[in-house]
Amino acid sequence: MVFSTQITINFGDTDPAGLVYFPNIFHYCHIAMERFFEEVCGISYSKLTGERQLGFPTGKIDAEFTTPLRYGDVIDIEITLSEIGNKSLSLGYKVKNLEGVVCADVSQVVVAMDLSRHASIAIPDSIRQSLSSQS
């Protein structure tokens, strides 16, 4: 199953060239990931990181930007969970514009972290089970 979510590109996200400043594309991916966790795990990423002190910082990320994104574009971000490791997750993002063109193709590895100790941990079972139903 593929999770997908829409984001509208705001004025403040774009640069003097009229294009999205590329670090903001990673910000969009993170927003999509937050929504993905809420949808799939049934717990908001704010509760996960706040109450449960469990976060998923990025260990590795590769991106290809093939079509520029512009102010006013509405984008669709599709997330695929390709691997669930002991302590990490592999996620893929396809960022499409409304014509369906893939503008950015992103692969990311995030690592489960106990935020109170800033140490990587095994992904808790409850989270793992929810995610497994998705992969």
Binding site for a second copy (CB under 8 A): 10-12, 14-19, 21-24, 26-27, 30-31, 34, 44-47, 49-50, 55, 57-66, 68, 70-72, 113, 115, 118
Based on CB atoms, which residue is closest to a second copy, 34 or 76?
34
Instruction: Give Cβ neighbours of residue 39 (< 8 Å, ≥ 6 apart).
Output: 3
What's the min distance (Å) between Cβ of 86 and a second copy?
18
Based on CB atoms, which residue is closest to a second copy, 10 or 132?
10
Cα–chain-centroid distance for residue 53? 18
Q: What is the CA radius of gyration of the chain?
A: 15
Based on CB atoms, which residue is closest to a second copy, 57 or 133?
57
Cα dihedral 20→59→40→69 (10° resolution): 10
